[in-house]
Structure 1
Amino acid sequence: MSNSIIIYTDGAARGNPGPGGYGTILMWGDVKKELSNGYRHTTNNRMELMAVIAALQALKKENLHITIYSDSSYVVKAVEEGWLKNWIRTDFKGGKKNKDLWRLYHTLSQKHHIKFKWVKGHADNAFNNRCDELATAAADGKHLLIDEGYEQELKANKLL
């Protein structure tokens, strides 16, 4: 088997903010693994990013060549257009959101060779559509997790 992995991701939030979830599919040769989780209070952008993070955390090897397909312009452009490098360099100056998740993604990404590709959401891509199903089912689930970073930020800003 090669050291090349294909990952599809999607995130969803009901109300944005509201209950949310992510779905991701990891593919390595003939092996396919689906992951998803739901959170009681979060945002769509956080779930888009959590889908990527969950996929990277599931990998057991390092130095892999990874192509990540996402329908999130926010995630794809942040990495591919260098926004994230600038945010890290300026310590997320100007109130850039999701600092906790972007820092976690950045740490995980250093172990691999990652390329993002944008795909049109809710279109004819079966893997993206499956990730959407996983994400929305997770958001609608009964046993929702706590998005610690988001809820701490709300408490700090006296919004929760």
Structure 2
Amino acid sequence: MTTAKTTHTTAYADGSCLGNPGPGGWAVLIITADGASRTLSGGEPNTTNNRMELTAAITALNALPADAPALLFLDSEYVVLGVNEWRPRWESQGWRNANGKPVANADLWRQLFAVVDARPLVELRWVRGHAGHRGNEIVDRLARAEAEKVRLATTGSRCLTTNAAAEGLAQ
């Protein structure tokens, strides 16, 4: 039995927030066509879930080659719909949403659209969260761990960070 070799890079991105707003985290998993993987993650002390989702997507796209096909999986319909459907209306209506109000997180949306435009061979796809998608589960755990790390740091608690969330890659 032969296994089909992947010819593109696959990435997963997720954001998390403990409270909304509150301490948040984001994480990215990149798996190259040859199977090599790496993770990127970070957090902010006072943010929202949507800002962390956008930050994760921006970071993932910036880490992908601009001239090679790739798939970016996200469990955020907010991000995927924003890129694939809402963008033309926002831009044509002066960055106002359907209710005529300013688009929330416009600063991050502009960054995301710029990096999307620079990577025309990258496709964004939505996956249902907590549905057994291995890569999505890994970034979900990493993003939550980053949010918790930020929460502990801002409350003066000590935190021991491990790479346990990414250990699933070796299995």
TM range (shorter): 0.7 to 0.9
Matched residue type, 1:35: L
1:58 is matched with 63
User: Residue type matched to 2:62 in 1?
Assistant: Q
1:101 aligns with 2:108: yes
The CA RMSD measured in Å over matched residues stands at: 1.9
Shift of 1:64: 2.3
Structure 1: 5+ residue stretches without partners = 145-160
| TM-score, structure 2 as length reference | 0.76
SS at match of 2:149: coil
The separation in 1 between residues aligned to 2:7 and 2:108, in whole angstroms, is 26
Distance 1:46 1:10 in 2: 11
Please say if residues 23 and 147 of structure 2, whose CA atoms lie closer than 8 Å, have aligned partners that are also in contact.
yes
Q: Following the alignment from structure 1 to structure 2, what is the Cα–Cα distance between the partners of residues 73 and 2?
A: 25
Aligned partners of 1:38 and 1:140 also within 8 Å: no
Q: What secondary structure is seen at the aligned counterpart in 2 of 1:12?
A: strand
Which one has the largest radius of gyration? 2
Q: Distance in 2 between matches of 1:11 and 1:83?
A: 20
Residue 129 of structure 2 aligns to a residue whose secondary structure is coil
CA drift at 1:68: 1.1
The residue matched to 2:94 in structure 1 has which SS? Answer: coil
**In the alignment, is the contact (CA less than 8 A) between 2:83 and 2:113 conserved in 1?**
no
Match of 2:39 in 1: 34
* Post-superposition offset of 1:87: 1.4
Q: Which TM-score applies when normalising by structure 1?
A: 0.81
CA–CA distance in 1 between the matches of 2:123 and 2:61?
A: 13
- Displacement of 1:3 in angstroms is 7.1
